[in-house]
Homo-oligomer: A and B are copies of this chain.
Amino acid sequence: MHPMSEGLKIFKIGGGIIDDDAQLQRFLRELARVPGRKLLVHGGGKGASQMLRDLGQEPQMVQGRRITDAATLNIVTMFYAGKTNKQVVAGLQAAGVNALGLSGADGNAIRAVRRPVRDIDYGFVGDLPADAVNVPLLRQLLETGLLPVFCAITHDGTGQLLNTNADTIASVLACALAPHYAVELHYCFEKDGVLRDVDDDASVIPQITAAEYQHLKAAGIIAAGMVPKLDNAFAALEAGVERVVIEHALRINEPVKTVLCRS
């Protein structure tokens, strides 16, 4: 479908690193050193919840799940699409990378569907259909040498913004772009990779194939919290993504990491 030279690395960073500006800037400088086409998706961080509380609005929870009511959507849009996205873009510009920040509304880059109400009304939360991604726009931006930086806010096409899971955005982008690039999807977090022993940070498993993953999961070796993430990752590999990498956000240019691959 594509020559292997046409690579694209999609990085996803989460809350922990976003809450620590010095670490975030270190990550951005590391990202600047990664060669080739790149795309970044960032999650939220604790700032939005703190600001909701500072404004006297307790985060709404139903059955232990966070609800995005109108006030929450307002604040998370300000935090994710405003503060965090522009800090990341300005930091990448300072590192010599021509980054361009996007929500799903911008250029109709990602069109979501508000999550239907079944047992719980999650509020203004977006789910992503298979055709959510505006592939021609992203190819155009990438081929111009821009690094698209997505926050986890999308829209539904009728003017409604929607809070959307950043892991899902990264994986849907990876799958949508897989027919056009050899896509590597990098989930960056606070560990060096998938650990064989959750209490031993040095027990990183260097590579896991789909078949090995089934064994590790059946044997209970992969921790419960990792399972939804890895299920998702292997689904992305099935859908055409070349490889998924689980790695430490501050050591993306170092060899220690877990590489997930089809076989």
Q: Which of A152-206 contact B (CB under 8 A)?
A: 153, 155, 157-161
Q: A81 contacts which chain B residues (CB < 8 A)?
A: 81-83, 85-86
Given contacts A81-B82, A83-B82, A144-B140, contact A90 B107 (CB under 8 A): no
Q: A83 contacts which chain B residues (CB < 8 A)?
A: 74, 77-78, 81-82
Q: Is A209 an interface residue (CB 8 A)?
A: no
Q: Is A105 an interface residue (CB 8 A)?
A: yes
Q: A79 contacts which chain B residues (CB < 8 A)?
A: 78, 82
Residue from the list B74, B146, B161 in contact with A90, Cβ < 8 A:
B161
**25 residue pairs from A and B, CB less than 8 Å apart:** A54-B55, A55-B55, A77-B82, A77-B86, A78-B82, A79-B82, A81-B81, A81-B83, A81-B85, A82-B83, A86-B153, A86-B161, A90-B105, A90-B161, A93-B155, A93-B159, A94-B157, A94-B158, A98-B107, A99-B106, A99-B107, A100-B106, A100-B107, A101-B106, A137-B144
Show the binding face of A for B, using Cβ within 8 Å. Answer: 25, 51, 54-55, 74, 77-83, 85-87, 89-91, 93-94, 98-103, 105-108, 137, 140, 144, 146, 153, 155, 157-161
Residue from the list B98, B105, B146 in contact with A93, Cβ < 8 A:
B105
Interchain CA distance A69-B65 in the complex, whole Å: 36
Interchain CA distance A85-B161 in the complex, whole Å: 12
**Structural contact, A103 and B105, CB atoms closer than 8 A:** no
Give min CB distance, A19 to chain B, whole Å. 14
Given contacts A54-B55, A78-B79, contact A86 B105 (CB under 8 A): yes
Interchain CA distance A107-B93 in the complex, whole Å: 8
Give min CB distance, A103 to chain B, whole Å. 5
**Structural contact, A94 and B55, CB atoms closer than 8 A:** no
Q: Which of A51, A55, A83, A153 has the most CB of B within 10 A?
A: A83
Interchain CA distance A159-B157 in the complex, whole Å: 32
**Which residue of chain B is the closest to A101 with respect to CB atoms?**
B106
**Which residue of chain B is the closest to A158 with respect to CB atoms?**
B94
Q: A159 contacts which chain B residues (CB < 8 A)?
A: 25, 90-91, 93-94
Interchain CA distance A80-B86 in the complex, whole Å: 11
**Structural contact, A89 and B74, CB atoms closer than 8 A:** no
